């Protein structure tokens, strides 16, 4: 089985800029995606979301549907570089492993996530993450 690859936020952004067969999927909850912010150009498919906060049983099928629609003529399980991002890189690892188990082959996760780990004052985006590195992001 293929392995999950770790990418820094900068490496993920660079891959998006240079590989037209790549996509960044933000797997955080709907509220995180909308109100905390998200990488510009990312697509939202929640891995865990309200109201029950359990893994999405349709996650792999939703990713496949996205890839089939977005990348015409490509095989979604083999031809597309799929990068996953969450808050700090933990949920994206679980979601990535679920995609690998479902037969996807080019799965990566952003190891620092969107906000990174908490600092000594319990603040995020001060030690790492997409925002910390000044990469393009937006919020609703």
Contact between residue 75 and residue 58 where contact means Cβ atoms under 8 Å apart = no
Rounded distance, CA 75 to CA 37, Å? 30
Domain ranges of the chain: 5-132
The rounded radius of gyration (Å) of the Cα atoms in the chain is 14
High-pLDDT (> 90) share of the chain, %: 89
Quote the pLDDT of residue 126. Answer: 86
Quote the pLDDT of residue 121. Answer: 87
Quote the pLDDT of residue 64. Answer: 97
Query: 5-132 maps to which CATH number?
Result: 3.40.250.10
pLDDT digit string, tens, across residues 46-94: 999 988 899 999 999 999 999 999 999 999 999 999 999 999 989 999 9
Q: What is the pTM of this model?
A: 0.95
């Amino acid at each position: 089985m293929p392995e999950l690859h770790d990418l820094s936020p900068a490496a993920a952004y660079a891959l998006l800029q240079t590989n037209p067969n790549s996509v960044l999927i933000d797997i955080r909850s709907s509220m995180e995606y909308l109100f905390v912010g998200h990488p510009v150009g990312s697509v939202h498919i929640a891995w865990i979301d309200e109201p029950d906060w359990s893994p999405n049983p349709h996650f792999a099928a939703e990713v496949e549907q996205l890839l089939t629609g977005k990348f015409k003529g490509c095989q979604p399980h083999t031809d597309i570089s799929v990068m996953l991002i969450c808050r700090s890189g933990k949920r994206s690892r679980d979601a990535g492993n679920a995609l690998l188990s479902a037969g996807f082959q080019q799965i990566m996760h952003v190891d620092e996530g969107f906000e990174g780990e908490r600092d000594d004052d319990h603040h995020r985006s001060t030690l790492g993450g997409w925002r910390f590195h000044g990469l393009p992001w937006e919020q609703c």
